[in-house]
């Protein structure tokens, strides 16, 4: 039975992603006292927790399988590609953005699918990534959605459009980006990872949900700098 545990958790990832899509289409309504867009945030974050736990369980139980690998990618596409795209799409429309700006959000699942397909056939992405990981894209989208929903003056069209296009293209950019996998707790070899943890505390502590936008921006910039000055990240 243990071999089914990771796949069951992966299906929870998919379920939370579906719930996130549902809430995205009710982003201006309230569930109890919680806005629909924030319920979508919670669902996407719960999907991220499930995504972390399924891999952890697979390692602890020795239950890796090709089925699990493909199921994980399909679930990630829904939870971290489709759900954030519809969240932004509906918030942009609610903010009276032109249709062309809202439709740019469809680049996120399109580029996300390409990024996941490449990841599945590339054996060199165990400790580093090529392109922005799709869960990081989802966190960026949550931050952008929070900025959009909490800005009284409405959507800054060019900033919103530029952010969406940039984050989508970063997923398929041929740029190495470091992962958060610590091989040891020492500072040597983990400086970038510790800096990201500190940045997360500062960004989220100071800016709340909007801080995720700046956090992923820091992650991207620090990865680009590391590529310039470090032979191995």
Indicate whether 95 belongs to any domain: yes
**Mean pLDDT confidence for 94-99:** 88
The CATH number linked to 141 is 1.20.120.1760
Indicate whether 195 belongs to any domain: no
**pTM, rounded to two decimals:** 0.92
Candidate from 30-34, 138-142, 169-173 with smallest mean pLDDT: 30-34
231 vs 161, higher pLDDT? 161
pLDDT one-digit tens code per residue, 27-62 = 999 998 899 999 999 999 999 999 999 888 888 887
Indicate whether 232 belongs to any domain: no
Identify whether the C-beta of residue 122 lies closer than 8 Å to the C-beta of residue 130.
Answer: yes
Domain that includes residue 131, residue range: 2-178
Q: How many domains does the chain have?
A: 1
Indicate whether 166 belongs to any domain: yes
pLDDT for 191 equals 87
């Amino acid at each position: 039975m243990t071999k089914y545990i990771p796949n069951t958790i992966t299906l929870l990832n998919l379920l939370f992603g579906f719930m996130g899509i549902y809430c995205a289409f009710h982003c201006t309504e309230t569930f109890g006292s919680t806005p629909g867009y924030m319920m979508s945030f919670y669902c996407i974050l719960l999907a991220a927790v499930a995504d972390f736990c399924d891999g952890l369980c697979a390692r602890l139980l020795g239950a890796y399988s090709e089925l699990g690998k493909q199921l994980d990618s399909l679930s990630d596409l829904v939870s971290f590609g489709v759900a954030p795209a519809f969240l932004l799409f509906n918030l942009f429309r609610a903010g009276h953005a032109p249709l062309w700006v809202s439709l740019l959000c469809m680049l996120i699942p399109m580029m996300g699918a390409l990024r996941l397909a490449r990841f599945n056939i590339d054996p060199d992405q165990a400790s580093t990534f090529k392109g922005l990981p799709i869960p990081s894209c989802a966190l960026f989208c949550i931050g952008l959605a929070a900025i959009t929903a909490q800005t009284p003056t409405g959507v800054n069209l060019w900033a919103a459009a530029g952010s969406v296009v940039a984050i989508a293209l970063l997923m398929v950019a041929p740029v190495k980006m470091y992962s958060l996998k610590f091989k040891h707790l020492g500072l040597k070899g983990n400086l970038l990872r510790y800096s990201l943890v500190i940045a997360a505390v500062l960004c989220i502590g100071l800016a709340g949900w909007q801080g995720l936008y700046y956090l992923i921006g820091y992650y991207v910039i620090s990865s680009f700098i590391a590529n310039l000055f470090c032979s191995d990240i």
